[in-house]
């Protein structure tokens, strides 16, 4: 699998994602700078990392969503290339219009940084095939703007179409219907606030995140 | 030519920052504040040829996230 990790000024989880991908896939991802306008030929998986791209100026993810590389990511996603956006990556995906809704300031106004239990809502997506539906996993969160909001019709549609991938089991940030991660209608783009790449090896506290990358590898390689 | 763009949260969208400001005002002893909504003001210095449509497009494409925000454009007359 040829993976690419997009790097914006202010990304700070790009190396975490790169380490996770290399561990699971066995190949280093290509780090792609935000001003590049094309992805490497043959890229079959794209990860958009967490962090504070462009200092969260204007709105979290707003600038990154309009950068040259994001146009290339959009085109690749339209061709069916799987895209994972974690934390700031999720914010970028909503700002780019690749996922519905928006991520607003946490309801409690505090930066939330702790491991949180999540329910895997849908195990049929290409990102969650290695999990059981209804299973509880624990991933760390670290965000200030993780409060997922969309209008009622959009929320109903996401739920009705089985596009909620992960839900918080605790009150974390005020997200509508406790949504922690969603997929697009084609099923190849996942945005999530919790960090699966920070739950990869025993030293992290748990290894629940590992199966996300394993499932992805299996699907992409198939 | 100068223009101001006012960006506000759509009605019904929860505004945690507005809520915190509201609480702080009450904490300072100001009574009678029914609600607080926080927004943004962006000032643009534009070429004279910039049309209303251009500014609106700037708002839709970048300045506002129309999923959660409304915008209002105010053109400022040139001060002689």
Structural domains of chain B in order of their starting residue, each with its CATH number? 2-76 (3.30.1280.10)
Mean pLDDT of A102-107: 94
- In this structure, are residues A175 and A116 in contact, taking their beta carbons and an 8 Å threshold? no
> Above pLDDT 70, what percent of chain A?
100
- In this structure, are residues A91 and A103 in contact, taking their beta carbons and an 8 Å threshold? yes
Strand segments (E) across chain A: 3-7, 30-33, 45-48, 83-86, 102-104, 112-120, 136-143, 147-149, 164-168, 179-183, 189-192
Inter-chain CB proximity B68 and A109 less than 8 Å: no
pLDDT, tens digit, 9 for 90 and up, residues A111-168 = 999 999 999 998 888 999 999 999 999 999 999 999 999 999 999 999 999 999 999 9
Work out the mean pLDDT of chain A and round it to a whole number: 96
pLDDT, residue A64, reads: 97
Distance CA A41, CA A61 (A): 26
Distance CA B18, CA A109 (A): 11
pLDDT, tens digit, 9 for 90 and up, residues A57-79 = 999 999 999 999 999 999 999 99
pLDDT, residue B79, reads: 53
Given a cut of 70, is residue A190 above it in pLDDT? Answer: yes
Q: Which of B15, B62, B71 should one mutate to test binding to chain A, selecting the residue with the greatest count of A CBs within 10 A? A: B62
pLDDT, residue B78, reads: 63
CA atoms within 13 A on the CB side of B36: 16
Q: Does domain A3-221 have CATH number 3.90.550.10?
A: no
| Residue B18 main-chain phi, psi, to 5 deg | -60, -40
Mean pLDDT of B14-27: 91
Measured between beta carbons, the chain A residues lying within 8 angstroms of B16 are 104-109, 147, 174
**Cα dihedral across residues A8, A11, A17, A22: positive or negative:** positive
Work out the mean pLDDT of chain B and round it to a whole number: 93
Residue A219: pLDDT band with limits 50, 70, 90: confident
How many other C-beta atoms are found inside a 10 Å radius of the C-beta of residue A151?
A: 16
- In this structure, are residues A189 and A98 in contact, taking their beta carbons and an 8 Å threshold? yes
Distance CA A85, CA A47 (A): 6
Given a cut of 90, is residue A222 above it in pLDDT? Answer: no
Distance CA A52, CA A9 (A): 8
Angle at alpha carbon of residue B40, lines to B34 and B44, rounded to 5° = 145
Cβ density class A5-43: b for 16+ within 10 Å, e for less: bbbbebbbbbebbbebbeebbeeebbebebeeeebeeeb
Mean pLDDT of A95-105: 97
- Residues of chain A whose C-beta is under 8 A from some C-beta in B? 58-59, 62, 66, 94-95, 100-102, 104-109, 147, 149-150, 174
Catalytic residues of A, by residue number, are 87, 195, 197
pLDDT, residue B14, reads: 83
- In this structure, are residues A98 and A48 in contact, taking their beta carbons and an 8 Å threshold? no
Search chain B and give the residue with CA nearest A106: B16
pLDDT, residue B55, reads: 97
Q: Assess: ipTM above 0.95.
A: no
Sequence-ordered alpha helix ranges (H) in A27-151: 68-78, 88-95
Any idea which of A26-35, A109-118, B70-79 has the lowest mean pLDDT? B70-79
pLDDT, residue A185, reads: 95
How many other C-beta atoms are found inside a 10 Å radius of the C-beta of residue A221?
A: 9
Given a cut of 70, is residue B80 above it in pLDDT? Answer: no
Search chain B and give the residue with CA nearest A105: B16
Inter-chain CB proximity B17 and A109 less than 8 Å: yes
Measured between beta carbons, the chain A residues lying within 8 angstroms of B65 are 59, 62, 95, 102
């Amino acid at each position: 699998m040829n993976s690419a990790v997009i790097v914006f000024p202010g990304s700070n989880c790009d190396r975490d994602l790169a380490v996770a991908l290399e561990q699971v896939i066995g190949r280093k991802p290509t780090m792609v700078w935000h001003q590049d306008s094309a992805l490497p030929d043959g890229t079959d998986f794209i990860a958009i990392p967490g962090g504070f791209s462009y200092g969260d100026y204007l709105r979290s993810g707003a600038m990154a969503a309009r950068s040259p590389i994001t146009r290339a990511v959009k085109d690749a996603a339209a061709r069916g290339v799987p895209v994972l956006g974690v934390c700031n990556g999720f914010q970028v995906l909503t700002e780019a219009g690749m996922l519905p809704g928006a991520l607003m300031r946490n309801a409690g106004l505090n930066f939330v940084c702790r491991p949180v239990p999540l329910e895997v809502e849908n195990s049929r997506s290409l990102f969650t095939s290695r999990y059981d539906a209804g299973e509880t996993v624990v991933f760390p969160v670290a965000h200030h703007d993780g409060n997922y909001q969309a209008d009622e019709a959009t929320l109903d549609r996401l739920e009705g179409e089985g596009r909620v991938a992960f839900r918080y089991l605790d009150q974390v940030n005020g997200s509508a219907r406790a949504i922690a991660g969603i997929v697009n209608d084609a099923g190849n783009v996942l945005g999530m606030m919790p960090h699966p790449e920070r739950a990869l090896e025993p030293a992290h506290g748990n290894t629940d995140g590992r199966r996300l990358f394993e499932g992805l590898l299996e699907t992409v390689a198939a | 030519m100068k223009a101001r763009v006012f960006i506000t949260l759509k009605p019904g969208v929860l505004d945690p920052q507005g809520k915190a400001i509201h609480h702080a005002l009450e904490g300072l002893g100001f009574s009678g504040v029914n609600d607080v909504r926080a927004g943004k003001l962006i000032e643009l210095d534009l070429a004279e040829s910039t049309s209303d449509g251009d500014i609106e497009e700037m708002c839709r494409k970048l300045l506002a996230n129309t999923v959660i925000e409304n915008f209002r454009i105010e053109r400022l007359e040139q001060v002689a």
